[in-house]
A = this chain, B = another copy of it.
């Protein structure tokens, strides 16, 4: 049993014990070059015995590659972001990267700059930018700052020339939800949006609007109320909507917590879902199936978004490393799916199970 304190064994110690040079040990560790079997075995025995672990810092220094990715995220305690980070971590792990997690609470310019400096200092090989696009918080991309950074992939933002983006097709998701309500015979469909400073919130509104207009239905401003993603804003929004437009027969809430709040409001005001009002949410959180009534919602492949982002990043890193010219930024939209449950059906169907419809 190795008695040394952790991580104090170096190549030299292994080399001495095996009676070979450091370079030979290095070759064994990295599986490169031809090595006589006997030597190899001796070296491996020494490695085992001493519990040697190569120092990744030293390797990174000389190889000019840290095998580290960074994810800059926001709202990790929300369902969407945490799912996405799970995907990012899984794919990073599979590709042999370690992942640095950085949370950005208030994304003011100074904090961002400081964070980017840290990432550069640590020589991360790539960055996944998983902060939602809110207001002008992406202004800094404009500069050539981005060319002084390692490869970077953006999540959930408006595709822009010159940068790689992976996102859910929020607009399509909202369209699926709205079209579904229309197909169920609903005609006056309200909307509870996310904060409209968010790109994703605006996209979902656009999907709703386009679908209504496409079906020859009204999409007036009085059918829209702005929420902040929280259940309480959904509750307030629903009440407001019913006050303004007592005759609406459906509502599309742009995430599930707001839909939950809406259901609460509907119940409190003595109405019934789905009989009087059909409700559809967005995100399809695991609990949605257990709301009263079970909530129809739009499923997004969040884990896949994360995985794909890392894959794209990896390709870019490899290309960069080989000196190939930028293989060109990529923009990818992933397709959501409609998950139908009781809350949006034409009438109460007590035994109805979840049905799923593929997007487009």
Contact = CB atoms under 8 A, between A and B. Distances in A.
Most buried by B among A71, A101, A122, A289: A101
B102 A89 contact: yes
A99 B289 CA distance: 35
A121 interface: yes
Nearest to A234: B290
A121 B11 CA distance: 13
Contact of A51 (B100, B148, B234, B292): B148
A85 to B, nearest CB: 6
Interface in A247-267: 257, 260-261, 263-264, 267
A44 interface: no
Q: How large is the interface on A (under 10, 10 to 19, 20 to 34, 35 or more residues)?
A: 35 or more
Contacts of A120: 6-7, 53
Interface in A100-121: 100-103, 105, 117-118, 120-121
A246 interface: no
Nearest to A90: B103
Tell me the dominant secondary structure on chain A's binding face. Answer: helix
Contacts of A105: 90
Contacts of A99: 100-102
Given A51-B148, A53-B117, A257-B287, 16 more contacts: A6-B147, A6-B148, A6-B150, A57-B122, A68-B100, A76-B86, A77-B82, A93-B102, A98-B102, A98-B118, A98-B122, A230-B286, A234-B290, A261-B290, A267-B292, A287-B287
Interface of A: 2, 4-7, 51, 53-58, 60-61, 66, 68, 71, 76-77, 79, 82-83, 85-86, 89-90, 93, 98-103, 105, 117-118, 120-123, 147-150, 230-232, 234-235, 257, 260-261, 263-264, 267, 286-287, 289-292
